[in-house]
Structure 1
């Protein structure tokens, strides 16, 4: 809030606050993740099974995620970029697990629609 004076357009306040919240949540997860052990993979076959994703497809996905409202955006980022479990996300967002599950399903549907519409 110390930098509120640097916000040039008041209509972007919600986006600005959402970005601050996401960055704080990600920083907290990074801090806590230092103590978690990395999973040991028996082989790297899982990596070979995935089809390569082009830069254009990644940009389309990132744009679609950016269009999501809070908390849908936070749930998708935490789940798929940081491999968090829905239980952990519910705790982080201080929401019931059932609510996070519903929001997760809705977020995936919205992403699907955004990506199909181009």
Structure 2
């Protein structure tokens, strides 16, 4: 693979990582920083990367960096998303508040899940990836992905039910 193709492929993968991080409710600025740090690490260690699955390597680096930064800063989440702010004039305040509360409950339950379960649920239901794609991305067997996804859904349902009692 020549230098130009490598950079195009890297750019495509970093865009995917950025969008994935945004689905994890990482702020725009933080997602850009994480993608940039991931690109730096890729360029720094390109010669020593053994896996043919660059996307899985990049996602793992990005998530590890994000988890490290989250532990260091423990930032507070913003109250409203950008799309909610744009629709303030269209929706009733009660609907916005209910939507926000439901989203907050879901995020709160997701935060209580172990990171591997949270990642599986987000890849499956937010990124809308197939089990085969998730297995390739995370270097797991399809059966393991399905089993872990089932357990993640079960644990999510239990925690969500407990939170709404």
TM-score bin, normalised by smaller chain: 0.5 to 0.7
Q: Which runs of 5+ in 1 are unaligned?
A: 3-16, 24-51
Match of 2:133 among 75, 88, 107: 88
Counterpart residue number, 2:46 = none
Residues 39-118 of structure 1: pairs in structure 2 closer than 5 A: 54-118=99-163
* Superimposed CA distance per residue, residues 15-69 of structure 1 (whole angstroms, 9 cap, x where no aligned partner): xx9973386xxxxxxxxxxxxxxxxxxxxxxxxxxxx972111111111111111
The answer to whether the Cα contact below 8 Å between 1:18 and 1:70 also exists between their aligned partners in 2 is: no
The answer to whether the Cα contact below 8 Å between 1:76 and 1:104 also exists between their aligned partners in 2 is: yes
Higher helix share: 2
Residue 20 (structure 2) pairs with residue 20 (structure 1): no
**Who wins on radius of gyration, i.e. which is larger?**
2
Q: Distance in 2 between matches of 1:22 and 1:78?
A: 18
TM-score by length of 2: 0.40
Displacement over 6 Å in runs of 4+: none
* Superimposed CA distance per residue, residues 52-91 of structure 1 (whole angstroms, 9 cap, x where no aligned partner): 9721111111111111113211110111111111110111
Q: Which runs of 5+ in 2 are unaligned?
A: 1-36, 38-59, 67-95
CA RMSD of aligned residues (A): 2.7
Q: Distance in 2 between matches of 1:81 and 1:98?
A: 20
Aligned length, in residue pairs: 75
